[in-house]
Amino acid sequence: MKEDNEHVQRTIAEDNGQSRREFILTSALAVAGAGAAGILNPARAFGAESKNPSGQGNGPYPTEGMAAYSETGPLKLMKFQRRALGAKDVAIKIHYCGVCHSDIHTIHGDWGKIQYPQIVGHELAGEVLAVGSSVSKFNVGSRVGVGTMVDSCRHCPECLRGSENYCENGNTQTYGSKNRDGSITQGGYSKFVVVDEDFVVSIPDSIDLAEAGPLLCAGITVYSPLRHWNVAPGKRVAVLGLGGLGHLAVQLATALGAEVTVITTSPDKAEDARRFGAKDVLISKDGADFSKYKRAFDFILDTVPYQHDLDRFIPILKRDATLCRVGVGKLTTQNEYGQMTTVLSRTSLAGSNTGGIRETQEMLSFCALNKIKPQITKISMNEIDEAWSKVVAKKARYRFVIDMKA
């Protein structure tokens, strides 16, 4: 059946018309399980006020995106399809998707072998085109976003407390994860997506859709640890690395009331760091001496996505303070630190992985209230390869966002 499905999917992807053959195949696919979970009320899903996204009724929906076919090759346009609308599903027209360093790590195989072709992207922002029969949080036209997850087990203690990002049974990532039907999830470098409403967030009206995407991975990834470690007025915080995550971390920590110092390897970012709210900027290069900052900081948020010298930074924490890593480099590269480093002042080395859906919604409200937004450069689908090279070369200022209409 699986092979049949793949054949059917290819056939439909190749032919976006409304032939009888396609209708039969589409119906067969829906019955086969691609969307059988929700028997829809078509009138509600595509009523007079609905904009039918593809002329495909309740789906599955043909769409296209930029896929990687190997670790190193250029991305190429891939036609594929999104599942039929289930009862709790929301069909979303993707307007924008942010470019995250994780996308590059994943395709390059830095985090393990993956299956190609793979479409990445987990900073999606767009508009609801159709809703399943029991969707309660969104309507056609709602401004919505999807971050790094599209499903989780829903019953483990982590899921029950709203920490789906730490699901004990492993959540379903927006790309590169196995769906319940065995297919691999395809991400947001595409024009259309179908997601369970529980993993869709609402974008506040005051946040531009193009600027919303980067908040959904970069934003929540730094917001969650800043809140967990109680960053607040009177606290001195160092943000290590001023990239996509770092430039949002500086703004968020400043809005939470902390005094922020940026530590960067790029001297030309000093002015930007201050514009984002940093009181001080330290340049980290080989042989840099930070001994004058010994025990200066209440918290360090380390956003550097590759192996680096932790012994240089842990000693600038106050006693009992924490350095939290949110950037992850190549998994085969160890990132060791000295035997004595944490012992001398009872410091902690920690890590944090994005945030739950409820916390993501809270973060969006916080950003709307405090007028926090990423500094973005819009690119077209055809400019992604070039943008990736700039991200790797630390030339992004500070987040590339793909405009699906461009």
Which range of residues in 158-166, 262-270, 282-290, 393-401 is near Zn ion by CB under 5 A? 158-166
Q: In this complex, which beta carbon is closest to Zn ion, that of residue 121 or of residue 315?
A: 121
d(CA 406, CA 389) in angstroms, rounded, equals 20
Cis amide prior to 60 (ω within 30 degrees): yes
Task: Tell which one of 124, 149, 159, 262 touches Zn ion (CB under 5 A).
Answer: 159
Number of residue whose CB is nearest Zn ion: 100
CB 203 within 8 A of CB 144: yes
Task: Tell which one of 81, 102, 264, 352 touches Zn ion (CB under 5 A).
Answer: 102
Q: Per rule CB under 5 A, is residue 173 in the interface with Zn ion?
A: no
d(CA 187, CA 70) in angstroms, rounded, equals 16
Site size toward Zn ion, by CB under 5 A: 9
Residue with tokens 């922020």: 260
Q: Per rule CB under 5 A, is residue 32 in the interface with Zn ion?
A: no
Handedness of CA 126, 129, 130, 134 (dihedral sign): positive
Q: Per rule CB under 5 A, is residue 249 in the interface with Zn ion?
A: no
CA-derived radius of gyration, the chain: 22
Q: Per rule CB under 5 A, is residue 328 in the interface with Zn ion?
A: no
d(CA 30, CA 119) in angstroms, rounded, equals 23
Q: In this complex, which beta carbon is closest to Zn ion, that of residue 169 or of residue 380?
A: 169
Q: Per rule CB under 5 A, is residue 153 in the interface with Zn ion?
A: yes
Angle, in degrees to the nearest 10, between helices 218-228 and 244-255 = 40
C-alpha distances out from residue 181 to 176, 177, 178, 284, Å: 14, 11, 8, 47
Query: What are the tokens at 333?
Result: 């590269």
Task: Tell which one of 30, 85, 144, 167 touches Zn ion (CB under 5 A).
Answer: 167
The least distance separating Zn ion from the CB of residue 324, rounded to whole angstroms, comes to 16
Handedness of CA 400, 141, 62, 175 (dihedral sign): positive
Q: Per rule CB under 5 A, is residue 156 in the interface with Zn ion?
A: yes
The least distance separating Zn ion from the CB of residue 99, rounded to whole angstroms, comes to 9
The least distance separating Zn ion from the CB of residue 226, rounded to whole angstroms, comes to 17
Q: In this complex, which beta carbon is closest to Zn ion, that of residue 213 or of residue 277?
A: 213
Q: In this complex, which beta carbon is closest to Zn ion, that of residue 175 or of residue 299?
A: 175
The least distance separating Zn ion from the CB of residue 120, rounded to whole angstroms, comes to 9
> Where does this chain bind Zn ion (CB under 5 A)?
100, 102, 152-153, 156, 159, 167, 169, 217
